């Protein structure tokens, strides 16, 4: 990064530290913070969409659809997250490759499952072996987003289903009395009001999602936990231009501050959103706002 960093062995004090903190691996470490934030801001709406579809399906009058939605939430919520992450990503990746294999290599004669190995033709590999590095990274990140969305979508579905049931029934009956169709009642009365009841549960779910981002390490994504462990471990002069002792405490301390800061910002934003949603609503929050002095 700096011109005087060409010979790290000759550096001392702040000059050494400035070069150490701006070398290539540390730049990847700083970039990994953006990876975590990107995961959160992509996964949250996708998981919410999964949850909304699951909650709406659970209310369906078509019994198989309702049973499928309730089964999805029950199964995913009942399996430990770490077991689901370790199993599901492998299964999902193999499912994609299997479908591509059937389309691109219909004349393949050998078995796909060969003992513990999963063998498909080279054209069906995801991503292709000759793909650029960024393609491999994007594919791994997309698998991570989909896995997070499916897991947390099940929890969001449970929250939204309860919120839909919390909307006072007389309001829905009034809409029906005014001639609203079932679809109009759902979109114009039920959905706008359910968010007041859903937000506390969704807020907790967001905090859990924030705390679950270190699971990216299990999915093969080089996240902040991976780099903190990699950079903080003991480095000797033979294998590193910047030798040092065991500094993992400092790196994981930085992660602690990052997550505490992210949690605090989330609390402030969610509190303001709750205040906005409850304004004028017939809830305890809205009633407190109406009674508050001007």
User: Which pLDDT value is given to residue 161?
Assistant: 93
User: Which pLDDT value is given to residue 167?
Assistant: 87
User: Which pLDDT value is given to residue 206?
Assistant: 94
Is the Cβ–Cβ distance between 111 and 120 less than 8 Å? no
Q: What does the pLDDT look like over 7-58, one tens digit per residue?
A: 877 778 888 888 888 888 889 899 999 989 999 999 999 999 999 999 999 9
Kindly report the backbone phi and psi dihedral angles of residue 244, in degrees, each rounded to the nearest multiple of 5, phi listed first.
Answer: -160, 170
Q: Would you place residue 257 in the very low, low, confident or very high pLDDT band (cuts 50, 70, 90)?
A: very high
Stretch 191-218: mean pLDDT: 89
Distance set, CA 54 to CA 119, 161, 265 (Å): 34, 8, 29
Stretch 193-217: mean pLDDT: 89
Q: What does the pLDDT look like over 128-150, one tens digit per residue?
A: 777 787 888 888 888 888 889 99
- 75 Cβ contact list (under 8 Å, min separation 6): 154
Mean per-residue pLDDT of the chain = 85
Rounded to two decimals, the pTM is 0.81
pLDDT at position 81 over 50: yes
Stretch 152-172: mean pLDDT: 91
The structure tokens 């770490």 sit at: 82
User: Which pLDDT value is given to residue 291?
Assistant: 56
Stretch 49-72: mean pLDDT: 92
User: Which pLDDT value is given to residue 262?
Assistant: 94
User: Which pLDDT value is given to residue 284?
Assistant: 46
User: Which pLDDT value is given to residue 281?
Assistant: 60
User: Which pLDDT value is given to residue 87?
Assistant: 80
Distance set, CA 117 to CA 114, 188, 199 (Å): 5, 52, 45
CA distance 200 to 182: 27
Q: What does the pLDDT look like over 216-235, one tens digit per residue?
A: 877 777 889 889 998 998 88
| Per-residue exposure over 262-275, b if at least 16 CB sit within 10 Å of its own CB, e if not | beeebeeebeeebe
- Total residue count of the chain as it appears in this document: 294
Is the Cβ–Cβ distance between 57 and 69 less than 8 Å? yes
Q: Would you place residue 293 in the very low, low, confident or very high pLDDT band (cuts 50, 70, 90)?
A: low
pLDDT at position 289 over 80: no
CA distance 261 to 41: 16
* Domains, in order of start, for the chain: 23-283 (1.10.3720.10)
Q: Could you check whether the bond before residue 190 is cis, i.e. omega within 30 degrees of 0?
A: no
Distance set, CA 187 to CA 21, 27, 159, 192, 262 (Å): 52, 47, 18, 7, 33
CA dihedral 21, 25, 26, 28 (to 10 degrees): 160
């Amino acid at each position: 990064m700096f011109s005087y960093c060409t010979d790290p062995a000759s550096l001392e004090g702040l000059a050494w530290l400035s070069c150490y903190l701006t070398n290539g691996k540390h730049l990847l470490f700083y970039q990994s913070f953006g990876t975590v934030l990107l995961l959160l801001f992509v996964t949250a709406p996708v998981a919410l969409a999964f949850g909304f579809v699951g909650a709406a399906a659970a209310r369906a009058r078509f019994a198989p659809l309702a049973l499928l939605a309730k089964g999805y939430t029950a199964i995913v919520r009942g399996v430990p997250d770490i077991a689901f992450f370790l199993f599901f990503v492998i299964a999902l990746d193999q499912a994609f490759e299997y479908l591509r294999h059937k389309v691109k290599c219909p004349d393949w004669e050998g078995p796909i499952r060969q003992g513990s190995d999963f063998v498909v033709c080279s054209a069906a590999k995801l991503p292709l072996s000759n793909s650029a590095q960024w393609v491999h990274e994007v594919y791994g990140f997309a698998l991570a987003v989909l896995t997070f969305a499916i897991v947390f979508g099940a929890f969001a579905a449970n929250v939204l289903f309860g919120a839909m049931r919390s909307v006072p029934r007389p309001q829905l009956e009034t809409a029906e009395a005014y001639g609203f169709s079932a679809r109009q009642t759902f979109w114009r009365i039920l959905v706008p009001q359910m968010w007041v009841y859903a937000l506390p549960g969704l807020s907790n779910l967001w905090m859990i999602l924030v705390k679950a981002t270190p699971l990216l390490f299990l999915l093969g994504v080089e996240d902040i936990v991976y780099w903190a462990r990699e950079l903080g471990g003991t480095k000797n002069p033979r294998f590193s231009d910047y030798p040092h002792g065991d500094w993992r405490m400092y790196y994981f301390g930085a992660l602690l501050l990052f997550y505490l800061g992210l949690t605090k910002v989330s609390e402030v934003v969610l509190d303001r959103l709750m205040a906005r949603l409850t304004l004028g609503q017939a809830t305890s929050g809205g009633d407190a706002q109406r009674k508050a002095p001007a």
